[in-house]
Chains A and B, each alone.
Chain A
Amino acid sequence: MYAFTYHRPTTVRQAISLLSKNGDAKLLAGGHTLIPTMKLRLASPAHLIDLSKIDGLSGIALKGRSIVIGAMTRHAEVATSQVVHENLPALAELASVIGDPAVRHRGTIGGSVANNDPTADYPAACLGLGATIVTSKRRIKADDFFKSMFETALEPDEIITKVMFPLAKKAAYEKFRNQASRYAMVGVFVSKRGPEVRVAVTGAGSNGVFRVTAFEDALKKRFSPKSLDGLTVPADGLNGDIHGSAEYRAHLIGVLAKRAVAKATA
């Protein structure tokens, strides 16, 4: 790693002040994307701002018809939370398949969402449930938040403080893992809330997470795997690499969407 100055603010305001004063600064949450990236010298921020000692940034609560999760909440906490299991089990299941047990003790939802890795799981949950990302400045709807691969609507001095997930009676996540890295080759999150249906795909798109409106329209008529029979996603704009061609990923999206709908209606 290249040298950096380490900061450990105790409030969000201090963290923002540090971000604003130091142009070349990065926030440190769980660190399980940032530290490996810095070890490879693919990132070399001059300042690292550790968020772990800021009170009030983690926690899981049911507020009305939404689950509110603090940005520093670790994946393991979401995966084992009674509140999440009782109200939105698909979210707990998604958190439980991120990385591995040790990684899940450190990785955070805020870090995952802010980073917007095109193969990460949480962006699919956010888009697949219509979540709201709450920052130090404003609230951003998931549909407006994820811009492109590794790019979000966040401004340079903006910090995610929590993510709000509206409950959905039917929701499920299906993940097809790369056997080596365990990241999603394709991950599909589906949900139905009244007349609203969402199908969000991660892992496959070269621009990051996206919704499949053709699938959503079909499922609005009838929320059943059969509704997706014969529907395909075009391979254009999908990732193709040694692990799978764009055509294969397009095929997987259809397969996983059906499995997710079946799981959501089970």
Chain B
Amino acid sequence: MPAVAMTVNGKAVTADVDPRTLLVEFLREHLRLTGTHVGCDTSQCGACVVHVDGKALKSCTTLALQVDGASVTTIEGLAAPDAPLHPMQAAFREHHGLQCGFCTPGMIMSAIDIVNRKGFALEEKIIREELEGNLCRCTGYHNIVKAIAAGAEAMGAGRKAA
């Protein structure tokens, strides 16, 4: 079985994997990082979104071997267990941007990617367009959009303060 090596949430990881191992399987089953979810398994719903080398990626449609040598961030990597929540996480909590929570890790990872690409002042229309790869069955998206706008602003304020 081929070897794969990557950094996940700041920690170096190596393993021998069946080539068929999807990145989402590697994260959930080998590393027990179960915050990343398998929703549709057909690259539509975004519940599996993680960051690879700083960019949002659908981990159900990527082989673990394809990200050999890369730096991966999952939802668990946004804040240390005993540290305050990442501003985007905090915004989802504050603005009730979730109900069952299944789409939420993917929504948050995609939201941070939107901020990285489009900045801290996000218009509602832009957020809705940029979320086309993330599906939610519970909320109707209203509070998700509000949470992302607020989270983006908070990320901006944090940058200025830091």
Contact = CB atoms under 8 A, between A and B. Distances in A.
B114 A101 contact: yes
Given A101-B114, A102-B56, A102-B110, A4 B19 contact: yes
Contacts of B151: none
Contacts of B55: 76, 105
B133 A6 contact: no
A259 to B, nearest CB: 19
A28 B20 CA distance: 13
A242 interface: no
B65 A5 contact: no
B91 to A, nearest CB: 19
18 contacts: A1-B20, A3-B19, A3-B20, A4-B20, A6-B19, A31-B61, A31-B62, A32-B43, A39-B42, A99-B133, A100-B133, A101-B56, A101-B113, A101-B114, A102-B49, A103-B61, A103-B133, A182-B132
A156 interface: no
A39 B66 contact: no
Nearest to A181: B44
B71 to A, nearest CB: 14
Nearest to A177: B132
B98 to A, nearest CB: 19
Contact of B66 (A4, A28, A99): A28
Interface string B84-125: 000000000000000000000000001001100100000000
A39 B20 CA distance: 9
Tier of interface size on chain A: 20 to 34
A175 to B, nearest CB: 13
Interface string A43-59: 00000101010000000
B58 interface: yes
B132 A100 contact: yes
Given A35-B22, A35-B63, A103-B61, 10 more contacts: A3-B18, A4-B19, A6-B2, A6-B19, A8-B65, A31-B61, A32-B58, A36-B61, A80-B117, A105-B57
Contacts of B133: 99-103
Contacts of A31: 61-63, 66
A102 B48 CA distance: 10
B130 A35 contact: no
Contact of A105 (B2, B20, B56): B56
B46 A102 contact: yes
Contacts of B49: 102
Interface string B23-59: 0000000000000000001111010010000011110
Interface in B1-20: 2, 18-20
Nearest to B117: A101
A39 B117 CA distance: 30
Interface string B121-149: 00000000010111000000000000000
Nearest to A40: B42
A28 B132 CA distance: 25
Contacts of B68: 8
B87 to A, nearest CB: 20
